[in-house]
A and B are shown apart, each in its own frame.
Chain A
Amino acid sequence: MNQQSTASFRDSCGYIFEHGGEIYRCIEPIYHARYRQIMASGLYETLINRSLLIQHIEIAPGSMPFAPMEKITLKPQKLNLITYPFEWCFCQLKSAALQLLEIQAIAMEFGMTLRDATPFNHQFKGSRVIFIDTLSFDEYQEGTPWIPYRQFCENFLAPLVVAKFRDPSFLKFASLSLQGIPLDIAVKLLPFEGYLNFGILVHLVGHAKLANAKGGEGTSKHRVLSRTGLVALIDSLRRSVESLSMPSNRRSTWSEYRSESNYNSDDILEKESVVQTFIRTLSPKTVLDIGCNDGRFSRIAVKCGVASVVAIDSDHLVIDRLVRSLIQ
């Protein structure tokens, strides 16, 4: 028997559980055909080869007490650190958004599509984003709309737009609204210059106005979007997300700390030497750099061979700068 994780309740196709300190994913019979399609079509292999999806191994049914015969049990690669989207900086959310659109484009080549678009389906391995929801795929049927379109716009596009045009601190507020920023609220927060961006104009402003004009009469699954339309929609969303970046002239409390701090060059070298001595003496498996700023001391920990270095900072701009430097 296995105990379903209390956080894994949304998806009726499967759930996560923990056993002996390892993470497992149980797939319900309702999703077995889709799972086989993901594996047999070449989609899984392609996503793994491009380092886009978390790897897993299948546990033989019945071989373990927690792997019943009637279900498929997977053992995904375990990540050292779990983070949440409201803890991410701008470029982390942006890279997750671009990854999701890349995965959607690839899935369509294999006759599949994503059935949801939440940033909670992404994690980070080091500075590299990785998709963790192997059960997020459904069979693509020509003519059907992209079901998570609104979810993508509310969870990725709207927070990025508000962070860009108003303040990056808005990303922290995502913890108050796990479903993202409603489109009409995002439009109200949009300054005039935001209307000059075609992607924002179409996918946020137009989307909100048209959706409100139609009203909510329940879910409709009419044939509304051709394959070319869907490819174009995903391409347009990708261009819109790519066009968003944080203004380079923005300053924050700690953004100029290195250039304006009281340390002179000798002091900083001495501090580096002290940190290096600590790490070499203690040989820790994990180093947590609290208030890392540009990650200068985290890099020393990495150079000293520490397996896991976690650098955190409450200042959005400095952490965004650090992540960007690691991605490049």
Chain B
Amino acid sequence: MNIRHLLPILYVMTFPQDAFAYIDPGSGSIFAQAIIGIVVAGLFLIRIWWTKILALTRSSISKLFGEDRKE
């Protein structure tokens, strides 16, 4: 069997099992969620990194000033 024949099977296997959902999320809405998910995840990560960078900068500055005072 060619590997190409296995690909659709592998693809289907990555689908989640049936959920107990009784609402129809709508394929259009899932498509929207995929796009929106990328946008908000990007901003989310930028915010996390920005917070870390700010914290790092603040601690570096306070260390520098702290050392200056000691001198």
- Enumerate chain A interface residues (CB-CB to B < 8 A): 10-13, 30-31, 34, 115-116, 138-139, 141, 143-151, 202-203, 206-207, 209-226, 228-233, 235-236
Residues of B within 8 A of A225 (CB): 33-34, 37
Please tell me if the beta carbons of B32 and A210 are within 8 angstroms of each other in the complex: yes
With a cutoff of 8 Å between Cβ atoms, the chain A residues found around residue B21 in the complex are 115-116, 138, 147-148
Q: Does B16 contact A (CB under 8 A)?
A: yes
When distances are taken between beta carbons in the complex, the residues of chain A under 8 Å from B32 are 206-207, 209-211, 214
Whether, in the assembled complex, B14 has its beta carbon less than 8 Å from a beta carbon of chain A, the answer is yes
B3-26 Cβ-contact flags toward A at 8 Å (1 or 0)? 000000000001111011111111
Q: A10-B22, A141-B16 are in contact. Are A146 and B33 (CB under 8 A)?
A: yes
CA distance A215 to B16 in the complex (A): 22
* A211 to B17 alpha-carbon distance, docked (Å): 24
Rounded to whole Å, the gap between the CB of A37 and the closest CB of chain B is: 12
Given A202-B36, A206-B32, A210-B35: A226 in contact with B23 (beta carbons within 8 A):
no
Is B2's CB within 8 Å of the partner chain A?
no
Q: Is the CB of B34 within 8 A of A202?
A: no
Within 8 Å CB of B30, what residues of A?
A: 145, 149, 220-222, 224
A222–B33 CA distance with the chains assembled, in angstroms: 12
Distance A223 CA – B10 CA, assembled complex (angstroms): 13
Interface contact A233-B40, CB-CB below 8 Å:
yes
Residues of B within 8 A of A215 (CB): 27-28
Whether, in the assembled complex, B1 has its beta carbon less than 8 Å from a beta carbon of chain A, the answer is no
**Complex contact A31–B19 (CB within 8 A):** no
Question: Which residues of chain A come closer than 8 Å to B17, judged between CB atoms?
Answer: 141
Further contacts, 8 of them, CB under 8 A, given A10-B22, A12-B20, A232-B40: A11-B22, A115-B19, A138-B21, A149-B29, A210-B32, A214-B27, A219-B24, A236-B44
Chain B, Cβ-Cβ closest to A229: B37
B44 and A222 contact, CB distance less than 8 A: no
Which B residues touch A218, using CB under 8 A?
Answer: 27
Asked whether B15 lies within 8 Å of A216 as measured between CB atoms, the reply is no
Residues of A within 8 A of B22 (CB): 10-12, 115-116
Assess A147 versus B38: contact at CB under 8 Å? Given A223-B14, A232-B43: no
List the A side residues contacting B38 at CB < 8 Å. 229
Within 8 A of A (CB), among B29-67: 29-41, 43-45
Tell me how far the C-beta of A276 lies from the nearest C-beta in chain B, rounded to whole angstroms.
49
**Given A145-B30, A148-B25, A149-B29, residue A229 in contact with residue B40 (CB < 8 A):** yes
B15 interface neighbour in A150, A214, A223, Cβ under 8 Å: A223
Indicate which residue in B15, B36, B37 contacts A222 across the interface (CB closer than 8 Å).
Answer: B15
Bound state CA distance, A149 and B32, in angstroms? 10
- Chain A neighbourhood of B43, CB < 8 A: 232, 236
Pick the residue among B15, B37, B39 that contacts A221 (CB under 8 A).
Answer: B15
Query: Which residue on chain A has the smallest CB distance to residue B31?
Result: A214
